[in-house]
Amino acid sequence: MKSFTYLLVTVLISISACAQQEESSVKAEIPQNVNYTTEVVISDMTIPWGMTFLPDGSMLITEKSGELIHYKNNVKTLIEGVPEIYVRGQGGLLDIIVHPNYSENGWIYISYASSDGQGDGGNTAIIRCKLDNNTLIDKHIVYKASPNSKKGQHFGSRIAFDNDGYLYFSVGDRGNRDENPQDITRDGGKVYRLNDDGTIPSDNPFVNEANAKTAIYSYGHRNVQGMIKHPETGEIWTHEHGPQGGDEINIIQKSKNYGWPKISYGINYNGTSFTDHTALPGMEQPLFYWVPSIAPSGFTIISSDKYPQWKGNLLVGSLKFQYLERLVLEGNKVIKREKLFEGIGRVRSVRQDPDGYIYVGVENVGIVKIVPKL
């Protein structure tokens, strides 16, 4: 648990961020930074939820409403063959990532809300597919969470690969915090691990547990909307939404319980408490948490030489306060926070491309590139 002094500093910084909320919500020109500027490279997008980069330098971007866009040579092309998307609340066409060996196998992985399967409504699905002449082909669902629900919140759905080629993804608690996150026989509130073809790794932690969802790798999560492989350690790092306060950063470990909703640094949206505990035996403490919430979405760990002042830092998007947050680490401890590009808009996704440039998906703006000043 953080020291009182460090917690006080964190709270004071967060209070300062709250004071900026009204100003930041005003539509404004994207502000600049001393060492870095911004450039809108793809405009006229509504909710650019996810993006990935192809070997030829082009990009694939998901619009939550259901459009998949291929951006190449300053031209946006709509991709055909996208699966049927269940668009409701936070659900829609969500994250996208290419296989680490994409140049050899051509596999693309997409998360989305799907109405396939048991019950009315929808739940999170992961599809594997290939791109051929602006059409998705060889489509195969590698995981579909169940049952469906008409609730519109907490689909999770970020995707990452580790150094061993395992596929990780998140499914949020789907608004059912009292049943899903702590029960390994149920989907929701989990981080999952699969082989790249959708089969279950033989060393997944719950493969021998009766009635368990054997794809589960860790549990006790609320709604993970940031996931990245650490470029040096190979660990899978996530951040997730808390309720009113208690957004978290975690390092995902096999079979670990991250506590939601038994432990939390947040409270209900109406100001009441749902738990008296911020720690319990057998439950992991976050690497870092925000009080009040910044509503984090999008996540990268900077490994690029193009941003020397930021190398090794974390970048997290804030939906609520409309900025990028830079977190400076000393070991696995956050020692400094900085707000970047205040007023940029609701940040939905953050990615570093293979060439080392950082791109930010901003709602009602598009894809913004962070450009080092010469």
DSSP 118-180: SSSSBEEEEEEEEEETTEEEEEEEEEE-SS-BS--S-----EEE-TT--EEEEE--TT-TTTS
Distances (CA, A) of 138 to 102, 106, 127, 333: 14, 10, 10, 43
pLDDT per residue over 79-136, tens digit each? 999 999 999 999 999 999 999 999 999 999 999 999 999 899 999 999 999 999 999 9
Tell whether the model's pLDDT for residue 2 goes beyond 70.
no
Tell whether the model's pLDDT for residue 13 goes beyond 90.
no
Determine the structural domain holding residue 91 and report its residue range: 4-372
Q: DSSP code of 56? A: T
Q: What is the pTM of this model?
A: 0.91
Which residue's structure tokens are 């760990």? Answer: 301
Indicate the burial class of 191 (C-beta count within 10 angstroms; 0-12, 13-18, 19 or more): buried
Count the neighbouring beta carbons within 10 Å of the beta carbon of residue 145.
Answer: 29
CATH assignment at residue 368:
2.120.10.30
Q: DSSP code of 230? A: -
pLDDT at 27: 31
Is the distance from CB of 168 to CB of 227 less than 8 angstroms? yes
Indicate the residue type of 183.
D
Q: DSSP code of 166? A: -
140 beta partners: 128
pLDDT per residue over 186-222, tens digit each? 999 999 999 999 999 999 999 999 999 999 999 999 9
pLDDT per residue over 239-260, tens digit each? 999 999 999 999 999 999 999 9
Is the distance from CB of 117 to CB of 89 less than 8 angstroms? no
Residues 6 or more apart whose CB falls under 8 angstroms from that of 331 comprise none
Q: DSSP code of 60? A: E
Count the neighbouring beta carbons within 10 Å of the beta carbon of residue 126.
Answer: 26
Phi and psi torsions of 196, nearest 5°: -65, -15
Picking from 58, 42, 48, the residue whose alpha carbon sits closest to that of residue 134 is 58
Determine if the peptide bond prior to 205 is cis (ω within 30°). Answer: no
How far apart are alpha carbons 160 and 264 in whole angstroms? 25
Lowest mean pLDDT among 26-40, 109-123, 326-340: 26-40
- How many domains is the chain partitioned into structurally? 1
Q: How far is CA 58 from the centre of its chain?
A: 21
Active site residues: 154
Q: What percent of the chain has pLDDT over 90?
A: 89
Q: DSSP code of 221? A: -
Tell whether the model's pLDDT for residue 7 goes beyond 80.
no
**CA angle in degrees (0–180, nearest 5) for 256-262-265:** 95
